[in-house]
Chains A and B, each alone.
Chain A
Amino acid sequence: MSAGTTKLDVTVADVVPVNELVTRFHFRPTGGGQLPTFSGGAHVVVEMREHEGAVPRLNPYSLMSSPLDTSEYTISIRRDDQGRGGSLFMHRRVKPGDRMVISYPVNLFSLDLRAKKHLMIAGGIGITPFMAQTAQLAAAGGNFELHYACRTAALFTYGDVLTERHGRRIHLYHDDRGEKIELANLLSSQPLGTHLYICGPAPMIDWVRNTAAAAGWPPETVHYEHFAAPQPGKPFDVTLAVTGKTIHVAEQQSLLEAIEAAGVDPPYLCRGGVCGQCETNVVSADGKFLHNDHWLSEEEHRSGKKIMPCVSRFEGRSLVLER
């Protein structure tokens, strides 16, 4: 199989600042017509090119528009001043009328349609997949409830929109007002057949998962998504044993991007350490792995035999990969 999914040619229809940190981007199909239907929770991988012909940077973003409307896709991106520059590129460079390439939608955070009720917990920009899921459920008469925490009212991305759309199904919590999700009570008061969904910062996901586990929620009723953005780090060199290439991974580059820049195309879907597609065997290593993925087990991390090149890095003398 070739890497990634089928591509879509889109044109930026609008760029809308939502608040100090978040900007929304609207994409329409460049050739006209409709975009592919998708399900709530799906993401697309956006290709960002610094200039014509440049090797693209590829970042995943959840689709937040209603799955019922395929005339356009929208995504919302939080500016990350410490990141590798993907969000800064989108915020500063992308203008209405620009042509871009995005992937077909992929859903790694699907609703379990058997659920009698969907209980959603969001933190910060983790709200985006729930925008699409709540729209989908509302249209089908589904039973859902969203608890959404943010730092301040000024940064409460789409808190007002959600409340207007779904009324009492939406519960907002402002950190700066000392409002907290009363999780233990919330989890203990749910009807039988409820499924739990979490999207937000890693500590929030851990907190909710652990609390649910302690309260006896079956693991298959607890769903979460946490894309790890690739982190910048010290540059390092890697030998690719199969193709016989030696590559250099720059400070702002991911290992996967460096492998691709050398003309090798490992499979990928999410580029966020979640889907498992780019899992790569380590032939030999002398140094320290910086694992950032959510795919490999802790045991696999410790073994030094596998790495997820989309988000993980390496520091040390030598690394040889089976690519």
Chain B
Amino acid sequence: MGINFRKETFRDDFTFRNSPEHVRRFPFPFHEDSYMYAVNIEPHVPGPEGSVLENLIDVDEHYVSEMEDRALVLAEDPLRCQSLPHMTLAGWDLLELLMTEQAKGYPEHFSLTRDGDNWHWINRPLGIDQKFVFGDLSTLPYGPMEYITRQSQGDFCILDQRDGNLWMDAGIVTTQADWSLDFDIGMNFFEWHAPVPLAHEKGVFTRALKFLLNIQQGKPARRLNWTMTINPRLDTSPENYHKWGPDRTTVTPENVGQKVHLRVELQSFWRLPRSNALVFPIRCYLIKMDELVTSKKWARRLHRVLRDLPEELATYKGLTRYRPTVLEWLSKYDDGATTSPGFGPD
């Protein structure tokens, strides 16, 4: 068995696509025909076999190519990966978490052998065979956080917990929806969420922080977030806005199906044991409109959600310019039929 890793790109010629099996496992984020912010947090427990929740750290067919894209981003801009000096212990915590979960979920691709502090990590898809001493920085080619997150899909934010708040004190962020770790590093929970419209008025962040401060070891939680991206570009960062911002003017009725992507983030929240910090893996999943409409339910529902989305949210998510074109295209797939509750395709 094992995963058939695709060879593809997330820039230039944009050869990214999902296999039909991966279209079906896409984490569609709308459980009903409308969308509004809510503290939509639930326990991060394993989900159905074949879904992106089957393993708590998901590895999929895009793994190898995503890791190559991350290496390209880091080579151009090393500040995408930062760790303040007091966060090294949390980095070791994260290394343990990701090695353990990947080896447990995908034993044909990853293996971890531990003999006290002497660890042996094998990553077959990336051709890595590393013996090192846990806790000894001199035995790895990078710091522990950077080492393991160059081998793990998704962005990772490590938050220090102190003074009743969470502080963005370490992370690696190369597949983000228009935010910058270099800008947010050192900020607290309220500071880095300040630009989000509507949610403050609803008290969402105060309640969310209270929940996150109490995340317990062995009891991770998760939520989904979403936006849209033109071209399957992972790195839609403020630093590279000049590269991807203009893409948003290129949407035409003829290219919606291939160019426009629904971008879903599976965010999970974990307590780290040695440092008492929290880690937020933010995993990005992309799906083309052509792929999405292979599910009649998803097509109808996305049309209705986009149509009724409040203007402030559309602006914040950067959809304003191409929303009418995408709506027109999607409307062909919405016959007005009722949709069943829940996330899955019919």
Residues on A close to B: CB < 8 A? 1, 5-6, 36-39, 41-42, 67, 104-107, 110-114, 136, 140, 220, 269, 275, 277
User: How would you classify the secondary structure of chain A's contact residues: helix, strand, loop or mixed?
Assistant: loop
Quick one: which of B43, B89, B93 has the most chain A CB within 10 A?
Answer: B89
Cβ A269 vs Cβ B216 within 8 A = yes
Chain A residues positioned under 8 Å from B89 (CB to CB): 113, 140
Which residue on A lies nearest to B210, using beta carbons?
A: A276
Is the CB of B162 closer than 8 A to any CB of chain A? yes
Interface set, chain B 15-29, CB cutoff 8 A to A: none
Cβ B217 vs Cβ A106 within 8 A = yes
Q: How far is the CA of A8 from the CA of B275 in the complex (A)?
A: 21
Cβ B216 vs Cβ A110 within 8 A = no
Cβ B217 vs Cβ A105 within 8 A = yes
Cβ B218 vs Cβ A39 within 8 A = no
Cβ B275 vs Cβ A113 within 8 A = yes
Is the CB of B31 closer than 8 A to any CB of chain A? no
Q: How far is the CA of A171 from the CA of B124 in the complex (A)?
A: 52
Cβ B217 vs Cβ A112 within 8 A = no
Checking B43, B217, B219 against A38 with a beta-carbon cut-off of 8 angstroms, the contacting residue is: B217
Given contacts A113-B86, A114-B86, A140-B89, contact A36 B218 (CB under 8 A): yes
Q: How far is the CA of A5 from the CA of B273 in the complex (A)?
A: 14
Checking A5, A41, A107, A114 against B218 with a beta-carbon cut-off of 8 angstroms, the contacting residue is: A5
Chain A residues positioned under 8 Å from B216 (CB to CB): 5-6, 104, 106, 269
Which residue on A lies nearest to B219, using beta carbons?
A: A6
Q: How far is the CA of A67 from the CA of B93 in the complex (A)?
A: 13
Least CB distance from A142 to B in Å reads 10
Interface set, chain B 145-183, CB cutoff 8 A to A: 160-163
Chain A residues positioned under 8 Å from B85 (CB to CB): 114
Q: A36-B273, A39-B274 are in contact. List 7 more A-B contacts (CB 8 A).
A: A37-B96, A106-B216, A113-B87, A114-B86, A136-B274, A269-B214, A275-B214
Least CB distance from B222 to A in Å reads 13
Chain B residues positioned under 8 Å from A269 (CB to CB): 214, 216
Is the CB of B227 closer than 8 A to any CB of chain A? no
Query: Which 4 A-B pairs rank lowest in CB-CB distance, beginning with the nearest?
Result: A37-B273, A113-B86, A6-B218, A110-B276
- For B219-237 the 0/1 string (1 means CB < 8 A from A) is 1000000000000000000
Which residue on A lies nearest to B90, using beta carbons?
A: A113
Checking B43, B87, B160, B275 against A39 with a beta-carbon cut-off of 8 angstroms, the contacting residue is: B275
Checking A1, A67, A112, A275 against B274 with a beta-carbon cut-off of 8 angstroms, the contacting residue is: A67
Least CB distance from B112 to A in Å reads 14
Cβ A39 vs Cβ B273 within 8 A = yes
How many chain B residues touch the partner (CB < 8 A)?
21
Which residue on A lies nearest to B114, using beta carbons?
A: A34
Given contacts A39-B276, A269-B214, contact A5 B219 (CB under 8 A): yes
Q: How far is the CA of A133 from the CA of B163 in the complex (A)?
A: 19
Least CB distance from B214 to A in Å reads 7
Given contacts A37-B273, A39-B275, A67-B274, contact A110 B217 (CB under 8 A): no
Q: How far is the CA of A111 from the CA of B275 in the complex (A)?
A: 8
Chain A residues positioned under 8 Å from B219 (CB to CB): 5-6, 104
Cβ B276 vs Cβ A107 within 8 A = yes
Which residue on B lies nearest to A5, using beta carbons?
A: B216
Which residue on A lies nearest to B41, using beta carbons?
A: A1
Least CB distance from B220 to A in Å reads 11
Q: How far is the CA of A318 from the CA of B92 in the complex (A)?
A: 53
Chain B residues positioned under 8 Å from A140 (CB to CB): 89
Checking B87, B162, B163, B217 against A5 with a beta-carbon cut-off of 8 angstroms, the contacting residue is: B217
Cβ B214 vs Cβ A104 within 8 A = no
Cβ B273 vs Cβ A113 within 8 A = no
Chain B residues positioned under 8 Å from A220 (CB to CB): 162-163
Least CB distance from B216 to A in Å reads 5
Quick one: which of A39, A41, A111, A140 has the most chain B CB within 10 A?
Answer: A39
Cβ B217 vs Cβ A36 within 8 A = yes
Q: How far is the CA of A111 from the CA of B161 in the complex (A)?
A: 10
Q: How far is the CA of A104 from the CA of B43 in the complex (A)?
A: 16
Given contacts A39-B276, A107-B276, contact A113 B217 (CB under 8 A): no
Q: How far is the CA of A42 from the CA of B163 in the complex (A)?
A: 17
Q: How far is the CA of A106 from the CA of B85 in the complex (A)?
A: 24
Least CB distance from B52 to A in Å reads 23
Least CB distance from B268 to A in Å reads 15
Chain A residues positioned under 8 Å from B163 (CB to CB): 220
Q: How far is the CA of A57 from the CA of B163 in the complex (A)?
A: 31
